[in-house]
A and B are shown apart, each in its own frame.
Chain A
Amino acid sequence: MGVVIIGAGQAGVQVAQSLRQEGFEDSIALLGEELDLPYMRPPLSKGFIADGNAAKISLKPEGFYAKSNIEFLRNTKVVSIDRTEQIVVALDGRQFPYDHLVLATGSRNAAPPVENLDLDGVVFLRTLQDAIKIRERLDHVQNAIVIGGGFIGLEFAGMARKRGIRVTIVEAMSRIMARAVTQETSERVAQTHQQNGVRILTDRYASAILGEDRVSGVALSDGTVIAGDLVLVAAGVKPNSELALDAGLHVSNGIEVDEQFLTSDASISALGDCCCFPEPTSNSRTRLESVQAATDQARAIARRLCGRPEPYQALPWFWSDQGDQKLQIAGLFTGADSVEVLERDTGGTTIFCFAGDNLIAVETINSPGDHMAARKLLSKPRGTTKSALSSVQYAMRDLL
């Protein structure tokens, strides 16, 4: 029987690969809904919009799956899990029995509560096919409107500006990336986008999408109307936890798992975008949407399934390329009550986030060396204090 993995994104593929690397010998079935070979999602809103080269973003070459004895099945949508019989059922009726099941179902784009989301010219970006369609349209777009000032919307805005497209971002909160970064980083990134000609409208949301056959603009909550021939809806994601919920597993903000990434059924694990887990560095239950979480959690699950469990202690980290800015985040800033901003001689910026005296996160803009040093510093079991950093003038390397 062996392991069945639902979801062939970064998390699912990494579980399969890590299982083989750890010496797992039973069967592995990797079930993906999409038609394409598994690919990296981060480039879709970054380099792929520029170069359109799909071959370059495959996670593995086509031959990898057969060579690794991984049964990869594309176009396979799972509709139910029978936990008593330990069988997964696909839409077309195929059944996959499992000894252990891994849920790597990912997330999907959230749809804001407005009408006309199905108008021609209103686009969502999640899959490779979405990105291909958006690329094809961009040659004919003059005014793009982005609903949502998060990573994806801002990355798209940076790419669109490089193609000469006018871009307006509409953000409901008072600042861009409010959930993901500190005010200090928001402001700096917003300023650079604005200098590049991106218009950023905060504190208002899209109340209606306008147009007859195709989109013509967006009406905002403050009464203004902006014209546009492309609307990208990038207003966050929702975890794909319905399969788990229908199967009677515990679900809250995603599929609930323990520190070993086991769900409320000991024969089922979950990881990546779809899971809510006890995050060790912040001591909070959270759900992370990142390559780092997907791959580190995958390795943890693979080691456990091979009889070598280890405590999960991975530090969360993220990155985003926006225009010419490389934004990197180490740690989770939620709970920070003070920050220290350092402008580096190299032109980069490093923002230290503290909860009390403890360093909990470091955000960097165009300062990759600081990012890596921060990751190492934040991974130290006993932590780092503001006073220690201040005693070395924030030269993190001196504390490593």
Chain B
Amino acid sequence: MTKIAFVTAGGSKTEVPAQDGDSLMQVALEHGIEEITAECGGAMMCSTCHVYIDDAWFAKVGAAPEEELDLLGFASCEVRDNSRLSCQVKVSSELDGMVVHLPESQV
């Protein structure tokens, strides 16, 4: 099974199994990653599931499309080139081992 590692702003790392086809947000919620608020449940209605994709994996995930960037503009933490809304990133076997960094806050 694909594994994804979430790293908090404080540096603590949690590696969790992820179902291919699920969004990173769903994976985080299912495993109690509290740094993902995901207020709208993945409807792309808020910006509370913001993550930074690790540089080593960013090319595989790709940059946020324009509509997502509009929402990211309202994230509570700094938006960087590798910022994504985790509800919009689908897990696949290609991403096995990926490291995802969590911002300090979502609201």
B57 within 8 A of A: no
A193 within 8 A of B: no
A376 within 8 A of B: yes
Residues of B close to A168: CB separation below 8 A: none
Interface size on A, residues (CB 8 A): 30
One of A25-33, A58-66, A216-224 contacting the partner: A58-66
B62 within 8 A of A: no
Q: Is B29 in contact with A369, judged by CB distance below 8 angstroms?
A: no
Q: Is B73 in contact with A372, judged by CB distance below 8 angstroms?
A: yes
Q: State in angstroms the CA–CA spacing of A291 and B46 once bound together.
A: 11
Q: Is A299 in contact with B71, judged by CB distance below 8 angstroms?
A: no
Q: Which residue of A lies closest to B69 (CB)?
A: A369
Residues of B close to A375: CB separation below 8 A: 74
B10 within 8 A of A: no
Query: By DSSP majority rule, is chain B's interface helix, strand, loop, or mixed?
Result: loop
Q: Is B29 in contact with A60, judged by CB distance below 8 angstroms?
A: yes
Q: A61 and B40 in contact (CB under 8 A), knowing A368-B67, A372-B70, A375-B74? A: no
Q: Is A61 in contact with B32, judged by CB distance below 8 angstroms?
A: yes
Residues of B close to A291: CB separation below 8 A: 39-41
For the complex formed, measure the closest distance between the CB of A111 and the CB atoms of chain B, giving whole angstroms: 28
Q: A376 and B74 in contact (CB under 8 A), knowing A295-B39, A368-B45? A: yes
Residues of B close to A373: CB separation below 8 A: 70
A55 within 8 A of B: yes
B30 within 8 A of A: yes
Q: Is A56 in contact with B26, judged by CB distance below 8 angstroms?
A: yes
Query: By DSSP majority rule, is chain A's interface helix, strand, loop, or mixed?
Result: helix
A171 within 8 A of B: no
Q: Is A60 in contact with B70, judged by CB distance below 8 angstroms?
A: no
Q: State in angstroms the CA–CA spacing of A371 and B70 once bound together.
A: 9
A140 within 8 A of B: no
Contact among A43, A55, A57, A369 for B67, CB-based, below 8 A: A369
Residues of A close to B34: CB separation below 8 A: 17, 21
A319 within 8 A of B: yes
For the complex formed, measure the closest distance between the CB of B24 and the CB atoms of chain A, giving whole angstroms: 13
Q: State in angstroms the CA–CA spacing of A295 and B48 once bound together.
A: 12
Contact among B32, B47, B71 for A67, CB-based, below 8 A: B32
Chain A residues 286-345 with CB under 8 Å of chain B are: 291-292, 295, 299, 319, 321, 326, 328
Residues of A close to B47: CB separation below 8 A: 372
Q: State in angstroms the CA–CA spacing of A373 and B71 once bound together.
A: 9
Q: Is B107 in contact with A299, judged by CB distance below 8 angstroms?
A: yes
Q: Is B32 in contact with A60, judged by CB distance below 8 angstroms?
A: yes
Q: Which residue of B lies closest to A373 (CB)?
A: B70
Residues of A close to B107: CB separation below 8 A: 299
Q: State in angstroms the CA–CA spacing of A17 and B67 once bound together.
A: 30
A197 within 8 A of B: no
Contact among A58, A326, A376 for B29, CB-based, below 8 A: A58
- Which B residues fall within an 8 A CB radius of A? 22, 26, 29-32, 34, 39-41, 43-45, 47, 66-67, 70-71, 73-74, 107
Enumerate 12 A-B pairs (CB-CB under 8 Å) in ascending A order: A21-B34, A42-B40, A46-B43, A61-B29, A61-B30, A61-B31, A61-B32, A67-B32, A291-B39, A292-B39, A299-B107, A369-B66
6 closest A-B pairs by CB: A369-B70, A40-B41, A319-B45, A61-B32, A64-B32, A372-B74
